[in-house]
Amino acid sequence: MSTSEKKPVDLFEKCWTFTRADEIKAAGYYPYFRPIEENEGPEVQIEGRHMVMAGSNNYLGLTSDPRVKQAAIKAVEKYGTGCSGSRYLTGTLDLHIQLEEKLAYFFHKEACLLYSTGYQTAQGIIPTLVQKGEYIISDRDNHACIVAGNLMAKGAFAEFVRFKHNDMKDLERLLSSLPIEKPKLIASDGVFSTTGTIADLPNLVALAKKFNARVMIDDAHATGVVGKGGRGTASHFGLEKEVDMTMGTFSKTFASLGGFVVGDKPVINYLKHTAPALIFSASPTPASVAAALAALDILEKEPERIKRLIANADKMRKGFNDMGFKVIDGQTGIVPVIIGDDLNTFVFWRALFDAGVFVNAFISPGVPQGMQMLRTSYMATHEDRHLNKILETFGSIGKKLGVIN
Ligand SMILES: Cc1ncc(COP(=O)(O)O)c(C=O)c1O
């Protein structure tokens, strides 16, 4: 058959035949895109129902803090609602510079650069720094934004290789097989977003040193949660000097929207002048930056919030464990309860929703088969009454569905 005789396939064919989401909706189990109508942190209103929120990354509970809200309102009054330009041209406010300086100081690094989201930060840094013939070496379970950066770098003829999740033996095997003289970047989440596991940074940085590699850590779930005063994974292990770049987001602890990277001045200066994700995208809005600045200020002044967050998560880990649930152990604000298959995860999720508890349902292929989970996450502002309600509700549903005895 010649090319002209072949039946043309419409690009949108895949969209018309995509029925998975509708099937789950029809069954009544669809957990995604549920509109929140009111949000007070631990308590929210969803579809007219008052619920306890146990699925947010609002770790320090600052999205509803009056000081953070006021800072955002003031910034809108002073600077307007948007910057209408990239940082490179008309989108730099004094607020952006202030936040960059404060974050660099907070993380004990020379300089900082803001991006419009955390996703854009990783996706922007990696292909800018890792060029043709150079190596990006990535943990298999890294966040999608690192994966996006890796693939962009690969598209521009960088070498992209992955090691088994948090497996330093595999990383060593991989590094020892690569040419020592070639420039390399090892990228890893500091705290892995699905499980809350902390990266084995001491071994990772030792291997980086041995095999001529730089290190970038994504601390989206670590900032304000682990490390001295919430300074993240490098600080948690006392390795702030050894980690070359820490990146993060304002969408979690910082109660806002935007991303950042801290590192040495020449590296930040290079990214500032060469990263397309920065140069060709509008800068974070005045309200976003002001909210993040206020949140950073509160984080520094009220470190007891971190203690409360960790105590809350520890209480939940113990509570789930005591009831017989399978829980991934950890030291962060993330407490995943393993259910083990897609349908049971959805059924459990729906029963929690109906009983007034909101969590996140993670199914395959987002997580490996057998690891389907209800990912719960906590805030410093959860009170015992919220946590007890979550535990009691999990307990009674878990028994009813035969997940626990
Ligand atoms: C590990 C990790 N990195 C980056 C991001 C992206 O951050 P943002 O929400 O600012 O795009 C997230 C958010 O989901 C994350 O979990």
Centre of ligand 1 to C-alpha 145, Å, is 7
Q: Does pLDDT of 4 surpass 90?
A: no
* CATH code of the region 65-301: 3.40.640.10
What's the pLDDT at 3?
58
- Tell me the C-alpha to C-alpha distance, in Å, between residue 393 and each of 28, 48, 333, 376, 390: 19, 20, 20, 13, 5
Q: Does pLDDT of 1 surpass 60?
A: no
| Sheet of strand 334-338, all strands in order from the earlier edge strand to the far edge | 326-327, 334-338, 373-377, 360-362
Residues forming CATH 3.40.640.10 domain(s) in the chain: 65-301
Residues forming CATH 3.90.1150.10 domain(s) in the chain: 34-63+303-400
Q: Are 42 and 383 in contact (CB under 8 A)?
A: yes
**Does residue 149 have its Cβ closer than 6 Å to ligand 1?**
no
Pocket test for ligand 1, best of 126, 250, 251 (most atoms within 8 A of CB): 251
pLDDT band, very low/low/confident/very high, at 297 (cuts 50, 70, 90): very high
Mean pLDDT for the stretch of residues 306-325: 98
State whether residue 231 is helix, strand or coil. strand
Chain segment 181-201, per-residue pLDDT in tens: 999 999 999 999 999 999 999
Task: Return the beta strands (E) in 27-156 as ranges.
Answer: 36-39, 43-46, 49-53, 111-115, 135-139
Task: State the closest ligand 1 atom to the C-alpha of 252, by its place in the atom list counted from 1.
Answer: 9
What's the pLDDT at 275?
92
CATH of 34-63+303-400, one of 3.30.450.40, 3.90.1150.10, 3.30.70.141, 3.20.20.70: 3.90.1150.10
Query: Which residue's structure tokens are 């129902």?
Result: 49
Taking CA atoms only, the protein residue closest to ligand 1 atom 10 is 118
Pocket test for ligand 1, best of 116, 141, 143 (most atoms within 8 A of CB): 143
Chain segment 40-60, per-residue pLDDT in tens: 999 999 999 999 999 999 999
Task: State the closest ligand 1 atom to the C-alpha of 142, by its place in the atom list counted from 1.
Answer: 1
pTM for this model (two decimals) = 0.96
What's the pLDDT at 366?
87
Nearest in space to 115 (alpha carbons), one of 334, 370, 288? 288
pLDDT band, very low/low/confident/very high, at 5 (cuts 50, 70, 90): confident
State which H helix or E strand residue 213 sits in: strand 213-218
**Does residue 219 have its Cβ closer than 6 Å to ligand 1?**
no
Average pLDDT, rounded, for the chain: 96
What's the pLDDT at 81?
97
**Does residue 232 have its Cβ closer than 6 Å to ligand 1?**
no
Chain segment 92-131, per-residue pLDDT in tens: 999 999 999 999 999 999 999 999 999 999 999 999 999 9
